[in-house]
């Protein structure tokens, strides 16, 4: 999965677990449904993402002020 955020450089968590990357990032995920959350400067946003076998998923999350 390719993940971007506005602004860039946000911390990422997948299903509530932090991962050691910041946006933009390429995250290897098995097929299934995930909750992807990003956080930067006290702002947070999340999205539900469905990963399908063989498909490249692009997700862009905008952090609200």
Q: What is the pLDDT along the chain (65 residues), one digit of tens a residue?
A: 999 999 999 999 999 999 999 999 999 999 999 999 999 999 999 999 999 987 889 999 999 76
Query: Which CATH number is 2-62 given?
Result: 2.60.40.1120
pLDDT of residue 65: 66
- Non-local (6+) Cβ contacts of 6 within 8 A are 60, 61, 62, 63
Residues 30 and 43: their CA atoms lie apart, in Å, by 28
pLDDT of residue 64: 77
pLDDT of residue 56: 85
Domain residue spans of the chain = 2-62
Among the listed residues 51, 46, 62, 44, the one whose alpha carbon sits nearest the alpha carbon of residue 26: 51
Residues 63 and 65: their CA atoms lie apart, in Å, by 7
């Amino acid at each position: 999965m390719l993940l971007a955020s506005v602004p860039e450089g946000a911390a990422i968590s997948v299903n509530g677990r932090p991962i050691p990357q910041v946006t933009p990032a390429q995250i290897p995920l098995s097929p299934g449904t995930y909750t992807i959350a990003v956080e930067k400067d006290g702002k947070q946003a999340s999205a539900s993402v469905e990963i399908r076998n063989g498909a490249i998923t692009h997700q862009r999350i905008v952090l609200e002020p």
